[in-house]
Amino acid sequence: MPKRYLPAHGRRRVPTPSAELEVLFRIAARVHLAVRQALGNPQRFEVVAMGASGTPTERIDRLAEDEVRAVLEEEKVDWNLLSEEVGRVERGGQLTLVLDPIDGSHNALRGLPFATVSLAVGTDTMESVSSGVVHDLTTGVTYWATKGQGAFRDGRPLHTRPWEARRELFFLNLGRHATPRVIAWASQGRRVRSLGCASLEMLAVAQGSADAYLFENDVEERNLRVTDIAASYRILLEAGGGVSDLNGAPIDSLGLSLDRRTSVFAWADERLHAAAKGGVHP
């Protein structure tokens, strides 16, 4: 479960969590418990519906989403909801909760320890996202950020790392649908990793463990949605990094809807981004 976020003695003081963040923390705790209990149930593999995003919704995804909706109802939070499973639900609020109930659901179903619940609050575009929380469903670690107030991992400030050419570690999406551009990056990095969980891979960049995360598939319909990346986008920006698509175009104006998908280039150091745009790096 998410821990209480009190700074240790001698550390920089963590900003008092906003009301938005406190709601997101409570949602993450509920999802954590529901998912951990469900992982021991063989019915977790059962497909119960087709999600709004066009992909199958397994029972475990539905359980996680139900917990989110229950917290909103119980606490009378009027946020609208955008989820890859249920789609958009208008609830009369000014803010929208952008939700991936289980990012890395294939990992969770196969017993691999790379899955999160990803929660972000905004109004209409990625740039409008004011708060983001990503909770690791295996380790219990919680990452969060509020716009303009920095990024944190269980109370410790997050900072990206400086780029050292030819000493990089890249997180990439690989497999038969990966584009030649992504494969080219795999041949250039000193180390390459692929987890199958976009939020955790972007957060590896935010916490200084990696230099970049790239995701691009061969057809648009296989790329990422805002539900996959909204929370980690805010956290990475607050940690000092940046995000664009693989053509170098900002994704700040990407709408909070399921209508569009995007490739993603998340970087720790602007020099790496500039080098890539200039053709110095793949």
Q: What is the pLDDT of residues 17-67, one digit of tens each?
A: 899 999 999 999 999 999 888 776 545 444 434 455 555 456 788 889 999
Of 106, 216, 99, 212, residue with least CA distance to 163: 212
| The listed CATH number (3.40.190.80, 3.40.50.10260, 3.40.50.1220, 2.60.40.1180) that belongs to domain 169-277 | 3.40.190.80
Of 130, 115, 158, residue with least CA distance to 234: 130
Mean pLDDT over the full length of the chain? 89
At 163, is the pLDDT very low, low, confident or very high (cuts 50, 70, 90)? very high
At 109, is the pLDDT very low, low, confident or very high (cuts 50, 70, 90)? confident
Tokens read off for 100: 């991936």
Of 120, 77, 75, residue with least CA distance to 97: 120
Residue intervals of the chain classified under CATH 3.40.190.80 are: 169-277
Residue intervals of the chain classified under CATH 3.30.540.10 are: 19-157
What whole-number distance in Å separates Cα of residue 74 and Cα of residue 263?
Answer: 36
The top-level CATH class assigned to 19-157 is alpha beta
What whole-number distance in Å separates Cα of residue 258 and Cα of residue 246?
Answer: 19
pLDDT at 150 exceeding the cut of 50: yes
CB-based contact 149:20 (threshold 8 Å): no
The residues near 267 (Cβ < 8 Å, ≥ 6 apart) are: 205, 211, 212, 241, 242, 243, 273, 276
